[in-house]
Amino acid sequence: MQDRAVLVTGAARRIGAAIARHLHAAGARVALHCNRSRAEADALASGLNRARASSAAVVQGDLLDVASLTRIVDEAASAFGRLDGLVNNASSFYATPFGKIGEREWNDLMGSNLRAPLLLSQAAAPRLREARGAIVNIVDIHWERPLANFVVYSIAKAGLAGLTRSLALELGPEVRVNGVAPGAILWPEGGKHFDEGERQRIAAQTPLARIGSPDDVAGAVKYLLFDAPFVTGQILAVDGGRTVHL
């Protein structure tokens, strides 16, 4: 992984930041995409660059703005002179109860979870082919087993799983494309959606009897990007076994 360059979307905070740190620690250079979290992205990049000079850069842009997606890829590639990997991590997540779904929710959730990964992958494909690189999409275990009241989010992640498999066909043999489907890793901020009782129920339902950590996802991403040369078109669940009986 030494000096290979990876673009991680939504890399300023939470799981995205953990992925960026994990890849960087293994020797990769990372382009940290952010939208509104510029201060956090700059702080993360500064820390990574102190550890290894010129190894991190920040690329800012709204993934719902289709016109900006090619620019994001171009800036990431220009920062390091190459692009070896793309991690489509950025995601909107909130409930959309059936009967109350509007155009705004549809455009936001489908745009961030499905349209942006498709168009970013399309923009990155020539460079990834040249580098014989890889794409990892952050899906969700609920792509296969929908989450009640999260209709649009669930179908957007189902679409992302389908996109992962389609791109594995479209981009092979030069580019591998896989997905990581996290289970319960980090609870939504602000106490939304899952009260304490629901959190305890989810942990108890998981065979490992706990939730995971961002580093669990980051390790799976690193594996699929750089340590799995004969793996493509797969969705790896990182869920403590929860989907065994969900």
DSSP string, 205-237: HSTTSS---HHHHHHHHHHHHHS-TT--S-EEE
Distances (CA, A) of 143 to 31, 88, 158: 27, 15, 4
- Position 198 scores a pLDDT of 86
Low-confidence residues of the chain: pLDDT under 50: none
Cβ contacts of 164 within 8 Å, gap of 6 or more: 135, 137, 139, 177, 178, 179, 233, 235
Total of domains in the chain: 1
Residue 101 carries which DSSP code?
-
CA torsion through residues 79, 87, 151, 201, sign:
negative
pTM: 0.95
21: domain range? 5-244
Catalytic residue among 80, 143, 150, 153: 153
153 is catalytic: yes
Helices then strands, counting H and E runs in the chain, come out as 8, 7
Q: What percent of the chain has pLDDT over 70?
A: 99
Strand-pair partners of 164: none
CATH number (domain holding residue 102): 3.40.50.720
- Position 117 scores a pLDDT of 98
Residue 173: asked if its preceding bond is cis (omega within 30°), the reply is yes
